[in-house]
Copies of this chain bind each other. A is one copy, B any other.
């Protein structure tokens, strides 16, 4: 359950409104790596964390902090949009080249849809969507994604930072940059902790390692002549799991399998010349259903024989 306070975690006070910059700042609100994403991603991961205690608490603490970050950005947006042009603009633009730039780059949904406030979209107006949330239940894989999300988010913040000279905005973004640095580090340390606690063995997600093919787990394949990819550490030296030596090899077909697909079911009207024999009809008489027939035999035995 959640509670809120009326104060922001950190101030979000621009020195002056700036509708042009607000249009750009949308990327940090509702973009793929905006604050809405990390907020929902960490809450989701935390709610589904299977380990009570320090892990679950840590994830939920950050998720809860991120609700407040969305709040800060949305508040900043409304303040940046104060007094943004809402009237017939042609004359104004003609008389004012600086205004013309503002008008051209303004996000019109800020006026038409929200009435002077942030949209839950990215800088191009694409709505934020749940597909941005990554929460697999596997903490190694998810922490890897969290590091990546914080790195991309921080990079975008650094780029946006140079697009304004408003001291109030810059002050808040300096706070955001710091948190993104801290959170990158935190998820990396989370992986170290998982290893230290013996929950995972290495930083490589390799569930079901027993069945993976050994050679392909240790070979770099190259697919063009003169590739210099072999010069990197990724193509030589010991594997990170320490179970072998990395090889560099030319990419060639590793098995004799022509990329052909089978003759089609005639009732699907796929184009076909008969060159591979007649297609198997999907009607319960083909080989496919022979397997099913066997299964239903077993089912009958089970139902009647037990």
Number of copies: 6
Task: Specify the chain B residue showing the minimal Cβ separation from A219.
Answer: B182
Contact residues, A1-34 vs B (CB, 8 A): 1-13, 16-20, 23-24, 27, 30-32
For A234, give its contact among B82, B185, B268 (CB under 8 Å). Answer: B185
Q: How many residues of A contact B (CB 8 A)?
A: 230
Cβ–Cβ < 8 Å partners of A254 in chain B: 9-10, 175
Chain A to chain B contacts (Cβ below 8 Å), 5 pairs: A3-B224, A48-B74, A94-B296, A178-B215, A178-B216
B137 engages A292 (CB within 8 Å): no
For A159, give its contact among B104, B111, B295 (CB under 8 Å). Answer: B111
A1 engages B251 (CB within 8 Å): yes
A257 engages B7 (CB within 8 Å): yes
Cβ–Cβ < 8 Å partners of A109 in chain B: 27, 122-124
Known: A175-B216, A257-B12. A115 touches B98 (CB 8 A): no
Task: Produce 1/0 per residue, A43-58, CB < 8 A to B.
Answer: 1100111111111011
A17 engages B288 (CB within 8 Å): yes
A83 engages B159 (CB within 8 Å): no
B185 engages A51 (CB within 8 Å): no
Report the bound CA distance from A213 to B228 in whole Å: 35
Distance in angstroms from A108 CB to nearest chain B CB is 5
A235 engages B58 (CB within 8 Å): yes
Report the bound CA distance from A229 to B292 in whole Å: 40
Known: A61-B251, A152-B134. A101 touches B108 (CB 8 A): no
Task: Specify the chain B residue showing the minimal Cβ separation from A68.
Answer: B1
B75 engages A177 (CB within 8 Å): no
Cβ–Cβ < 8 Å partners of A145 in chain B: 145, 148, 151-152
B4 engages A223 (CB within 8 Å): yes
Cβ–Cβ < 8 Å partners of A99 in chain B: 101, 284, 289, 292, 296
Cβ–Cβ < 8 Å partners of A275 in chain B: 51-53
B124 engages A152 (CB within 8 Å): no
Distance in angstroms from A51 CB to nearest chain B CB is 5
Distance in angstroms from A272 CB to nearest chain B CB is 5
